[in-house]
Amino acid sequence: MTMAVAQKDEAAAQLKWAAALNVESGLYLLIGALALALRLFSLGDAPLSLAEAREALAAWRFVSASAIAPVQPTSAALHTLTSLSFLLFGASEFWARFLSALAGTAVAFAPMIFRREMGRGAALMACALSAISPVMLAASRAADGTTLAALSLLIVIAAIRRADRAPLLAGIGLGLGLASGPRFVSAAAASLLGLTMVVLNQPQIARSIREGIPTFRSQFWKMLAAAAVTFALFSTAGLLNPAGLSAAGAALPRWLAGWMLGGAARAPWLAPQMIFAYEPLLAVMGAGGLYVAFLSEYWHALIERVRQIFSARDPALEDTFAGRGAASLIWREAASAMGAMAVGAMAFAILYPGREAGDAVWVVVPLAMLAGKALAETFSGEWLEGERDTVISQAGALFVMVVFVYFNLAAYARGATTILNAPPDLNLYLALAVTALGVVVTILFAAGWSAQSAVRGAAIALGLATTIGTLGAGLALTQWRTGNPGELWTPTATQRDIRLMVSEIRHTSLRATGKAEDVEIAVVSSSPTDVRDGLLGWELRDFTRARYVDSLAGAANSPVVITTDGVSDPALGAAYVGDRFPAQSRPLQADVTARSFVNWWLHRNWPAEFSRAFDLWVRADIHALAANAVK
């Protein structure tokens, strides 16, 4: 009888475990679908940036066997994969970014590599946070090789963590990474600096690394062979483009040259700005994880003393306070490792002069794992009787306060007031006062019930509010506000007006020649090679009769002329009708005030100027022909 009962219990446990796995697998599938949808939706709507255009143009010229001298890509691996996409589906903004989007979707599942240390729930939560991360989303929708470099490094890490060290898989990841360009070097450098921080924080990890070195040495040549084959294939497009080896070989020199940048470098606080502006959810929840990792130990003794005082005065409170700290010390070891990795990656992003916005990805990956761990631990464990009602009440009150704060900050940013003759900063004072009230309410809930319930209520309210803010920031950055120079992703933003200019040229060509891309175009610039190999070269790639010249004399009597140096009235031997199309814009240097800062933080409004514009000139007789055709 006893054996039968035991077998029955074992069978029930197995069924429960299988059901849990099925639910977990289903949730991972939903996260993957969400990540892919966010990365592919309207992927080709925004024009390419200058860096993206150069990468896409290199691939297009290789596929089309263009007579124009090829552009050396920054990422040889991305060049190979993009060339394959263009060969199969045609050249477009969508297919230029498609491989980056797929790689970015895979990178969103990076926490699964550390699922054993994090726990199932924490890894699942971290993957969900990575899927909606605006920084990860923007990197996935940019054709610059960032996500490909991140994926390569994650393949190496996943292979090393396997029991057999998987030399072939590690070699494939290393070869792909070396062919991915200087961003892989940045990813590796940020990871090594983060690992150094982890070892300094937890010396026992160094012993684990030393124990794995003999196994690594025994499989080194297998890994090296796999890396060499992968590197050759991805650098040379399957040996079809031997020149790709020079592009891949230039990765390290380019990265080292980044240390020599002076005034051309982006601001050292770029990565912290990216986290603050675009990642409110990770910033808030990650801050909780950092508290547990580095600060809770110092406060724990004081909290225990306070609990003893309360317990001595009122024994009825002993059960309430015992063992229910706001930050459990059980998971500090895991939190400190992830926190140290995030701190190390942030240090690299600040110290490296050649930094780019994509370097924030190296910070977001460990920060998402830390935030996922914090959320999972906050809601794990037993709940006190009636605690859910208390938590829901607190969360509801705090969420209303957060909404109130947001609308008052938005009103303050726009200079609006709802009260006649009110002080101009009234909305700011109200927002600060309600924020302070929210802190007081949380403290009162902690004192009246338990610190754990207060943390849970605050986590629900702030988590919901910051999730909405994170989704809004991601969609605005990648879809709603593309071309806004107030965004941080690129130093210069490409304007959609360039699409209007190309559309006008196609319309003119169709009316004048009967074909949309057959009109003769002369592009006049003091640096014709730079223009031909940049954004305008990509936009005019299908116009086979486009010429790039360095003076107006080379464009005499051309039906369509594009000038890039602000020519007000070209002397071309005929009358021309012209219009200006802004191509790129950049933010201006301006004094930062409290109002302007809040306005930028909420709406990305910042003074800007057009850094480049193209003037389109159509010969008068061709313009009249097109105009009459429309009539």
Residue 292 vs residues 177, 322, 366, 374, 463: alpha-carbon distances, Å: 34, 18, 15, 8, 18
Please tell me whether residues 404 and 449 are part of one structural domain: yes
Beta-carbon contacts of 49 under 8 Å, excluding residues fewer than 6 positions away, are 142, 490, 492, 493, 494, 535
Q: Are residues 140 and 52 in the same domain?
A: yes
- What's the rounded Cα separation, in Å, for the pair 524 and 422? 56
E strands present in 527-620: 546-549, 560-563, 576-587, 608-619
Residue 587's φ and ψ, nearest 5 degrees, are -75, 150
Instruction: Tell me, yes or no, whether 568 and 434 share the same domain.
Output: no
Q: Which structure tokens are listed for 493?
A: 């933003």
Are 455 and 500 members of one domain?
no
Strand order in the sheet with 521-524: 493-494, 576-587, 608-619, 560-563, 521-524, 546-549
Final residue of a structural domain among 192, 224, 245:
245
**Closest Cα partner for 465 from 386, 388, 407, 383?**
407
**What per-residue confidence (pLDDT) applies to 322?**
43
pLDDT of residue 68: 76
User: How many Cα atoms within 13 Å fall on the side-chain side of residue 191?
Assistant: 15
What distance in Å separates the CA atoms of residue 14 and residue 206, rounded to the nearest whole number? 37
| Same domain flag for 122 and 238 | yes
Is 216 in the same domain as 112?
yes
Which one of 196, 221, 245 terminates a domain?
A: 245
Same domain, 477 and 551: no
Q: State residue 316's pLDDT score.
A: 47
Whether residue 233 is contained in a domain is answered as yes
pLDDT in the model for residue 424:
78
In a domain, 481, yes or no: yes
Same domain, 86 and 118: yes
- Do 533 and 618 have their domain in common? yes
Per run of 10 residues, the mean pLDDT along the chain (length 631 residues) is 53 53 86 95 92 93 80 90 94 95 95 89 93 96 93 92 78 93 94 90 78 75 90 89 85 90 80 94 88 68 58 48 47 83 94 92 94 86 72 91 93 78 83 93 83 86 94 93 90 92 92 87 88 92 89 83 74 79 90 89 90 89 66 49
Domain boundary among 464, 486, 508: 486
Residue 207: the pLDDT is: 79
Q: Which 3 state secondary structure label does DSSP give 159?
A: helix
Bridge partners, residue 586, by sequence: 609
> Is 574 inside a domain boundary?
yes
Let me know: does 496 contact 47? Beta carbons within 8 Å: yes
Do residue 86 and residue 145 come from a single domain? yes
- The number of folded domains in the chain is 3
Q: Which of 524, 515, 581 is nearest to 543 (CA)?
A: 515
Q: If you ran DSSP here, which 8-state letter would residue 611 be given?
A: E
Beta carbons within 8 Å of 533's beta carbon, 6+ residues apart:
54, 57, 71
pLDDT of 323 reads 42
Place of tokens 């936009």: 539
100 in any annotated domain: yes
Residues 460 and 535 in one domain: no
- Grouping H, G, I as helix, E, B as strand and the rest as coil, residue 309 is helix
Residue whose C-alpha is closest to residue 355's, from 475, 478, 272: 272
The pLDDT assigned to 22 comes to 81
Whether 278 maps to a domain, the answer reads no
Residue 479 lies in a domain: yes
Whether 512 contacts 519, CB under 8 Å: yes
> Structural domain of residue 433, as residue ranges?
382-486
Neighbours of 514 (CB within 10 A): 8
Based on the fold, state whether residues 482 and 499 are members of the same structural domain.
no
Instruction: Establish if 322 belongs to a structural domain.
Output: no
594 belongs to a structural domain: yes
